[in-house]
Structure 1
Amino acid sequence: MKPLESGDPIRLGPYRIHSVLGEGGMGKVYVGQDGEGRVAAVKVLHPHLTHDANLTQRFVREAQMARAVTAGSVARVLDARTEGGRPWIATEFLTGPTLADSVRSHGPFDEPTVRALAAALARALGDIHAAGLVHRDLKPANIVLTATGPRVIDFGIARPEHGLTLTTTGETPITPGYGAPEQVLGRRVGPPADVFSLGAVLVYAASGQHAYEGSHVAAVQYEVVHGTPRLDRVPPALQPLIGPCLAQDPAFRPVPDQIIRYFAPPRGAERVWRKGPIAKDITSHEHRLHQLTTLPAGSAPPPVSRRRLLTGLAVGGSVLAVGGTAAWWNRKAGDGGPFDVPPAVPAPKARVLDAKKGDYVLGETPEPLWKAPSALAEIRVAPLPVRDVLIVAAAKGGIAARSVVDGSVRWSAPDVMAAGLFLSLSDRLVAAVDRDGTLVTFVASTGEPKWASPAQAASLLAADAEAVYVITEDGRVRAIGRSDAKVRWTVKVDADLGEKAASRGLAAQRRLVITAADGSVLALDTSDGRQVWQHRQLTDSGRARADQSDGTLCVTGKQLSAFDLLSGKKHWSTKSPKLPNGDPAFWSSPTIDGRIVYATEVIFPVQIDIRTGKTTDWSYTGLLECDAGSPLVLQGSALWSVASDGKRAAVRALDLSADPQPTWMFPVLENPDQYWLTGDANRVFVLDGTSLSALPVF
């Protein structure tokens, strides 16, 4: 990353620009961050190229091509616009080195890592080809190694499978040595061309050398068409696997599914992305990004001038009627106004325990980090980690923020209705509803009151970078702007939202998804509240449970289903599990980690590929039983849940990093009918009736 220079933009759309990530022949790529704190790679076309219609079309096509791939194997497009005559594309920021960087730093990969790389990239190509596309430029620089595995970037010259090759004068549509022979010759290309590129990538990963070499570009391209690849430095066991990918005749190259089967990485090979030198590089990238995006000049909403504040108050006193121009006010005097929010306090991470260092004795459960008896109200509201504090329903009413380090009370807001739920706003503010239905916000770390809006809210639903979404006292859905506290829109939805906080929501990618009390799952367009799609889900308790990742929404009830977040199109649905007596069972709340969905089927957690809906080879049947209603929490190297029979309950953890996987049981809970788990920063927080504790992770 390089600092900004004269002429670089400071802001593009919702993204504040922090630094230069890279630069190529077509444009610059910047590190941007929106008001919600989400980081993006923002690519901008060079000014001197904007007059070239062909290049501009190619640039716009990149966004269209990447959006067509709905699986998590590529960097997803977050936004694409034209600003000041210059088009730009914002994509998901992938934290980690490129394959090219990693091989240069650490040398060739060992055989298990190459196998894991081959299988992951073959799955990515399968996703791309399933969307009817050909990437056409797979190379080490277009592969980012992340903690969840390799991801493919740069769809700049991607084309539909039936598309012709690019022949614009001066363009080099392929990277020498990685483009297939048919690409070099300017012929029509299909998915086999990407398989050829994959073969060349694997040669580089396994040997540190290019499959085709020459003194100049023409010589390299001649070798691709007429020569043979250099496999002499590739480990012997991998040569017969990589060689077929580089066949000159496309008909003789394997398809991605065959590559996955042939390479068959050994069990646990994917851990290379989480441990070892590559993992350290990924962590280093994450650390640098964290430093860059948590500077005081980060992504807080722009401050409101004192003149604008006084003008707003003069219009109608301290509170204006909702429906006109909703009022906002600073509930406590501050130098920068109610929308001048300080940077978020970093979450202090707890130390991960290690038995080899004597942190605990194998077979014995470590003691909790801290425990606070009688700390909570007797209402079932899940604790909410927000950086260095944990927001809870306070024992004496309202809400309280407790330190994640020792459980002590940092601040409280007694006038807030905890039953109306509370939300984190970019980990900077906590939003809640007071007894008058007013939407109120507090600085997460200190409790300082900030902006508020007379929203007539009964409970909160969700929040994104632009707005907070609430259920009103008369059962409608309302959006309150985060930059001015004004009502953006109010709509009546075709679903029973129930009493108080019976319905829940999540907001992402211009959609507000509501899991209603009557089993309806519906999505509203966050710009105007228009209903985009709706589904029904049979549940055991009225409301379905949902989670989303990269534009895929997973919903549980009688079935576990995956939908496209934007369109509502169903990707897949599981069969309904059955109890021994033949009655239907219900899936627990889904937990998504990268491409994997964890959910409980009857009493056993299962691992499902979010792209296909198929269970993976991972199976812990018999190792870990859990309550069908228990949350599944991933912290440290373990999967945490609660096992309950209605009379007794205990927190259990399954070590995912070991083989075989040992299980741990923490102290028995005293309230098997009133518990909750959540986790953050290497801690697992346990709600047990009115008691709250933090468990260490390993």
Structure 2
Amino acid sequence: MTENPIVAPLADDDPMRLGPYRLLGVVGAGGMGKVYLGLDTAGRTAAVKALRAADDMDPGMLDRFRREAEVARSVRGPGVAAVLGHGMWGERPWLASEFLPGLTLTRAVERFGPFAEADVRALGAALAGTLAEIHAAGLVHRDLKPSNVVLTRGGPYVIDFGIARPEHGMTLTGAGSAPATPGFSAPEQALGRRTGPPGDVFALGAVLAFAATGRLPFGDGHPAAVQFRTVHEEPDLEGVPRALLGVVTDCLAKEPAQRPEPREVARRLRMERGAERGTARRTGWFAAHRPPLAQPLRPRRPAWRSGPLAAELARCTAAVDDTVRSAAPEAAPSRRRVTAAAASAAAVTVCAAGGGAGWWLLRGDRRGPGVPAATPLARYTTGTAPAPLWTRDGLATNGAGPLAAGEVVVAGTPKGLTAWAVDTGQRAWTWTDRGTPLPAAGLLAAGGVVLAVTTGGRLTAVDARDGRERWSRAVGATRLLAADADTAYVLDGERRLSALPLTGARARWTTQAATGTAKGAAAAAAGGRLVVAGSDGTVTAYRTDDRGSVAWHQDTAAEVALAPAVAGDTVYLGGASLRALTLADGTQRWAKPTPGGGAWGSPTSAQGSLYVAWQDQLIAVDARSGEQTWSLLPGTHALPTTAPVVQGRSLYHPLGADRFGPDDGVVTVDLRKAAAAWSLGGGGDQPWHLTGAANRVFLTHAGTLHAMPVL
């Protein structure tokens, strides 16, 4: 998005409303679409990023925008704009995030000049901390640059996750296209090679050099020339304070392995003088200008909290507040009133918008498409379950689902499938064309469709928006294993594993599955791998782009199929040992035996931790090291085959004497306190099934669907 220095009036072809947001004006525009200043019915602002009309849209652009929305939902931290909702399937796909009244780093340096050393340190430490949060979510931003850093009175924010990818993903370079932004993309990214977290560290070094000097470290000019200098020449760091040269030079190392990790960058920037001389090879100018030894940094208010920049940010915030106040009294304003309100803010400095992420915050109305999300509970009484947000009856007893699919949650009924709106529980559609889906086969959602298996192994794709049948094929399916962006992976009655396009076309490949899948299986698909856990404890990873050839094989010594968990380039497995393996080749990164016999259950990866059941305990371990961080006794054995569901700062997990025993309800854990908050149900003979979406946890039990709040 290009930057616009004012909140401009809405044009005749601009929508007046997107989802729950009334649009007050335009704050940014570019080739993909526009960013609007939006206001919900409660008077809360949002940056609403919208694509052009669907009939004037490149399909690749829509795919990138949808990917941005999905990525934005998975990152949490104080340095990213909180996602408030999105609508991906309407005429104007949109993404709403926290509105950031402020200046991009590009504009701040243009208007107020290069930053002082202390301000560069504060900026760099904050950005490094944000990158650490992004990487902990298994993602790489891939386009960090000054125009994607917004300075607000609360500090710097990283925006625009449009080309962010899971850490194992490749660059998005296509034929003749540029990978990210020349001068800030790392050498490996410029060459079209695999780009991981070190690529973001390189970009951070370039951003800090720009902030300190006002110049691009690899110059400007034709993009190809800038990229050539990035790959083959040393950066121009003339003007970077001597005490910062070490950390900036290390960030800009040509080899990814020589760059420090973000948390190390933050630690070094918080020192007044660099104790280390860095790890990158140093010659020439730097060798002759070594910085002095380290001393603790003395506290100082950064530029965005004092001085001319802070005054400008305050003026921006006040002007936006005036715009909102002038528009707030009208519940359904005319276009003339909206245009006048936006024009009254003609002096507002840009309030940069873009895809950021955080946990869901907004609970809006449903006047348009979108995924409004529940506000976390402000308080609760320990041991007392809060009232459900809504409940619905009439489900098939112990039927298929629940399954979150975009704006709806889907579950099996005695005659087929029914979908309810995620936020209100209003019935969205019912599908009864093929009968009741087989519970043992499961449900899948991907690519805008819900996949279900009915009698005879017939696989059917139903449109997630309206419940219309897109296609149906008799493939002998017995189990829906997993899906990625364009393919569903299905097991049939003869233990054949097939990769079926979501369009309904013929199978891309079919291969014989491992023997352990005869009595059931659980799976995950990511990063070019389909990881299938069999009922005999074996786990096999298949190459999804190589006709299903086996990439690696493991034996977990489990007696049931334990669903694997994937985060970034790592897959986590339960069993006799809780282990972390490299997704691509199965190399073990760490393994943690059980504390005393038995097996670990199916793990869940969230917020840099793994949550997993073992006998009568729920345990959290650090996802990077496998070190235990806490455990608690919920009072009974946790079902080993069911992975916990994490939403917001809550963990929901079903309980039972063992996998064949009676229902003992569901426990909810407050992850902030590592303590049980409340429990639900117990004492029956039917299991609970869980899923989560939009700051809600959906549970089915005994024919009823419950939408529960989170913390």
TM over 0.5: yes
Matches within 5 A, 1:241-280: none
Please say if 1:423 is aligned against 2:444. yes
For 2:153 and 2:270, locate their aligned partners in 1 and report how far apart those are by CA, in whole Å.
12
* 633, 655, 664: which one aligns with 2:670: 655
Matches within 5 A, 1:374-413: 374-379=394-399, 381-394=400-413, 396-407=414-425, 409=427, 410-413=429-432
For 1:464 and 1:108, locate their aligned partners in 2 and report how far apart those are by CA, in whole Å.
34
Structure 1 contact 95–286 (Cα < 8 Å) conserved:
no
Letter in structure 2 aligned against 1:425: A
| Counterpart secondary structure, 2:481 | strand
For structure 1, list consecutive stretches of 5 or more residues without a partner in the other structure: 22-33, 40-70, 79-90, 110-130, 144-155, 157-164, 213-217, 237-280, 291-343, 579-583
Partner of 2:376: 352
* 643, 646, 653: which one aligns with 1:631: 643
* 179, 182, 186: which one aligns with 2:245: 179
For 1:190 and 1:447, locate their aligned partners in 2 and report how far apart those are by CA, in whole Å.
47
* 699, 702, 705: which one aligns with 1:686: 699
Partner of 2:193: none
For 1:513 and 1:167, locate their aligned partners in 2 and report how far apart those are by CA, in whole Å.
36
Shift of 1:415: 1.6
Letter in structure 2 aligned against 1:346: G
Shift of 1:105: 4.7
Decide whether aligned partners of structure 1 residues 141 and 205 sit closer, same or farther in structure 2, where only a CA change above 3 A counts. Answer: farther
Decide whether aligned partners of structure 1 residues 107 and 530 sit closer, same or farther in structure 2, where only a CA change above 3 A counts. Answer: closer
Matches within 5 A, 1:148-167: none
Of all paired residues, the percent bearing the same amino acid is 20
Decide whether aligned partners of structure 1 residues 479 and 224 sit closer, same or farther in structure 2, where only a CA change above 3 A counts. Answer: same
For 1:657 and 1:697, locate their aligned partners in 2 and report how far apart those are by CA, in whole Å.
12
Partner of 2:606: 593
For 2:683 and 2:394, locate their aligned partners in 1 and report how far apart those are by CA, in whole Å.
12
For 1:487 and 1:225, locate their aligned partners in 2 and report how far apart those are by CA, in whole Å.
61
Matches within 5 A, 1:414-493: 415-416=434-435, 417-419=437-439, 420-426=441-447, 428-483=448-503, 485-493=505-513
Structure 1 contact 206–235 (Cα < 8 Å) conserved:
no
For 1:192 and 1:437, locate their aligned partners in 2 and report how far apart those are by CA, in whole Å.
53
* 549, 552, 556: which one aligns with 1:533: 552
Partner of 1:125: none
Structure 1 contact 469–477 (Cα < 8 Å) conserved:
yes
For 1:620 and 1:99, locate their aligned partners in 2 and report how far apart those are by CA, in whole Å.
43
Structure 1 contact 389–444 (Cα < 8 Å) conserved:
yes
Structure 2 contact 569–584 (Cα < 8 Å) conserved:
yes
- When normalised by structure 2's length, the TM-score is 0.55
Decide whether aligned partners of structure 1 residues 132 and 374 sit closer, same or farther in structure 2, where only a CA change above 3 A counts. Answer: closer
For 2:587 and 2:493, locate their aligned partners in 1 and report how far apart those are by CA, in whole Å.
32
Equivalenced residue count is 472
The structure whose RCO (Cα within 8 Å, separation 6+) is larger is 2
Provide the alpha-carbon RMSD of the alignment: 5.2
Matches within 5 A, 1:39-118: 92-93=140-141, 101=149, 105-106=153-154
For 2:288 and 2:152, locate their aligned partners in 1 and report how far apart those are by CA, in whole Å.
24
- When normalised by structure 1's length, the TM-score is 0.56
Decide whether aligned partners of structure 1 residues 429 and 95 sit closer, same or farther in structure 2, where only a CA change above 3 A counts. Answer: farther
| Counterpart secondary structure, 1:553 | strand
Structure 2 contact 431–467 (Cα < 8 Å) conserved:
yes
Structure 1 contact 180–193 (Cα < 8 Å) conserved:
no
Matches within 5 A, 1:126-141: 137=202, 139=204
Structure 1 contact 95–282 (Cα < 8 Å) conserved:
no
Partner of 1:307: none
* 593, 596, 618: which one aligns with 1:575: 593
Partner of 2:621: 608
For 1:282 and 1:600, locate their aligned partners in 2 and report how far apart those are by CA, in whole Å.
43
Please say if 1:286 is aligned against 2:297. no
For structure 2, list consecutive stretches of 5 or more residues without a partner in the other structure: 3-28, 33-56, 69-87, 96-130, 158-195, 209-217, 219-228, 278-282, 302-350, 361-367
Shift of 1:547: 0.8
For 1:231 and 1:220, locate their aligned partners in 2 and report how far apart those are by CA, in whole Å.
26
Shift of 1:654: 2.3
Partner of 1:312: none
Structure 2 contact 479–490 (Cα < 8 Å) conserved:
yes
Per-residue CA deviations over 1:67-103 (Å, capped at 9, x if unaligned) read xxxx98885999xxxxxxxxxxxx7347999899477
| Counterpart secondary structure, 2:482 | strand
| Counterpart secondary structure, 2:525 | strand
For 2:611 and 2:518, locate their aligned partners in 1 and report how far apart those are by CA, in whole Å.
28
Per-residue CA deviations over 1:641-681 (Å, capped at 9, x if unaligned) read 234445562332222235xx553224423535512222211
| Counterpart secondary structure, 1:685 | strand
Letter in structure 2 aligned against 1:347: V
Per-residue CA deviations over 1:159-197 (Å, capped at 9, x if unaligned) read xxxxxx99955754899343329969x9999999849x9
Per-residue CA deviations over 1:513-550 (Å, capped at 9, x if unaligned) read 1112222210111121111111112113x313211000
For 1:108 and 1:14, locate their aligned partners in 2 and report how far apart those are by CA, in whole Å.
27
Partner of 2:688: 675
| Counterpart secondary structure, 1:179 | helix
For 1:375 and 1:421, locate their aligned partners in 2 and report how far apart those are by CA, in whole Å.
15
For 1:389 and 1:133, locate their aligned partners in 2 and report how far apart those are by CA, in whole Å.
37
| Counterpart secondary structure, 1:376 | coil
Decide whether aligned partners of structure 1 residues 445 and 550 sit closer, same or farther in structure 2, where only a CA change above 3 A counts. Answer: same
* 390, 393, 410: which one aligns with 1:370: 390
For 1:15 and 1:666, locate their aligned partners in 2 and report how far apart those are by CA, in whole Å.
41
Structure 1 contact 136–179 (Cα < 8 Å) conserved:
no
Decide whether aligned partners of structure 1 residues 224 and 628 sit closer, same or farther in structure 2, where only a CA change above 3 A counts. Answer: farther
Shift of 1:457: 2.3
Structure 1 contact 182–188 (Cα < 8 Å) conserved:
no
